[in-house]
Amino acid sequence: MTKRVIVTGGSGLAGKWVVEDLVAHGYEVLNVDRVPMAKGTARTLLTDLTDAGQVFNALASSVKLREFDEDIEPKPIDAVVHFAAIPRIFTTTDNEVFRINVMGTYNVLDAASKLGIKKVILASSETTYGTVFAHRHRDPVYFPLDEDYPVDPMDSYATSKIINEVTAKAFHRRTGMDVYCFRIGNVLDPVDYEKFATWNKDPSLRKRITWSYIDGRDLATACRLGIEKDGLGFEVMNVAADDVSSDLPTAELIKRFYPNVPVKKSMGEFETILSNEKLKRLLGWKQAYKWREQVKK
Ligand SMILES: NC(=O)c1ccc[n+]([C@@H]2O[C@H](COP(=O)([O-])OP(=O)(O)OC[C@H]3O[C@@H](n4cnc5c(N)ncnc54)[C@H](O)[C@@H]3O)[C@@H](O)[C@H]2O)c1
């Protein structure tokens, strides 16, 4: 049976890959965003997610792309992938980042649970580990950064993401719905592979994000695997490539830029510092797009 999925933020950098991947795999998809998609891969329902009334309407909508189809009656939605957000500090005021991200996510979870939608995948972020938008250099408590880490950021963006994880857990507790929160690493488009020449020349450029990366297409696969895997309840999973986005080995990067951070396990030569073990274990995710292969293309 065709599954119906609503993707929020499908007009954005990361969300467009999720929409494309789901459509390519036979899902019926509705994009809910405040701006249209550049490519019309799915229908966009223009919605402001900070308005609860609009969110309840959107999540009860028909996902059909063509209004002249035989049957356009709204049908139950199987899953929501919630990516819409302000994805960083600096582009709008801190309080707007916080309000939009926190209220948008509350509204999506509230509407999904009250409309009987049983699966929500949320975009959380690697910034929750506290190094990315810290006022100055911060040493994490340990490496690799795994989901057991005591997250303690200082900025409004990462704080909004942690609150969203707490909200997600509360809705799971209330209704039993599956909510998987993806702490996503730095998302790359194919055009971004050109930047590796610069990034490799100066490895300090990606120090704050601990050299994490994830190709948007690999992130989309993780979302689809999450939709297809029922019954995990509430889970937080990092989503990152297997390797660091640097031509320096992981041990060298840590020695140069984070010499005082304890490393809890032995790590592979280029192993990611943003651990993706849980994602692989719970969802069977595998990386398809490695920067070394993409740069050569
Ligand atoms: N890009 C990254 O490297 C990265 C890393 C970690 C996590 N994330 C998270 O992934 C998600 C997607 O990020 P992105 O880089 O694609 O961001 P983006 O800005 O490219 O896309 C976000 C989309 O959300 C929409 N949006 C924002 N506010 C909205 C509102 N009130 N109502 C409806 N739509 C709204 C925007 O119009 C946009 O299309 C975000 O939740 C972000 O925090 C991104």
Distance 11 CA to ligand 1 centre (A): 9
Domain contains 235: yes
Which pLDDT value is given to residue 294?
97
155 domain residue, yes or no = yes
Residue 204 covered by a domain: no
Nearest to 273 by CA among 296, 295, 237, 243: 243
Output the pLDDT for position 66: 80
Is residue 142 scored above 80 in pLDDT? yes
Distance (angstroms) between ligand 1 centre and the Cα of 33 equals 9
Distance CA(55)–CA(1), nearest Å, equals 26
- 295 assigned to some structural domain: no
Cα of 29 from ligand 1 centre, angstroms:
18
Specify the DSSP element, H or E, that contains 46. strand 43-46
CATH number for position 43: 3.40.50.720
pLDDT-derived band at 254, boundaries 50, 70, 90:
very high
Interval between CA 260 and ligand 1 midpoint (Å): 33
For ligand 1, say whether the CB of 3 is within 6 Å of any of its atoms. Answer: no
Q: Is the pLDDT of residue 67 over 90?
A: no
Q: Say if ligand 1 is within 6 A of residue 9 CB.
A: yes
Average confidence (pLDDT) over 69-87: 95
Residue 266 maps to a domain: no
pLDDT digits (tens, 9 = 90+) for 147-156: 999 999 999 9
- Looking at the domain assignment, is residue 103 inside a domain? yes
3-state SS class at 180: strand
Count of domains forming the chain: 1
Answering whether pTM is above 0.85, one says yes
User: Which of 130, 163, 171 shows the shortest CA–CA distance to 149?
Assistant: 130
Give 122-137 pLDDT, tens digit per residue.
Answer: 999 999 999 999 999 9
In a domain, 165, yes or no: yes
Averaged pLDDT, 266-272: 98
State the pLDDT at residue 132: 98
Q: Which atom of ligand 1 is nearest to the CA of 214?
A: 3
Domain assignment present for 219: yes
Is residue 153 in contact with ligand 1, taking CB distance under 6 Å? no
pLDDT band at 69 (very low <50, low <70, confident <90, very high): confident
Domain boundaries, position 225? 4-137+145-187+214-241+273-288
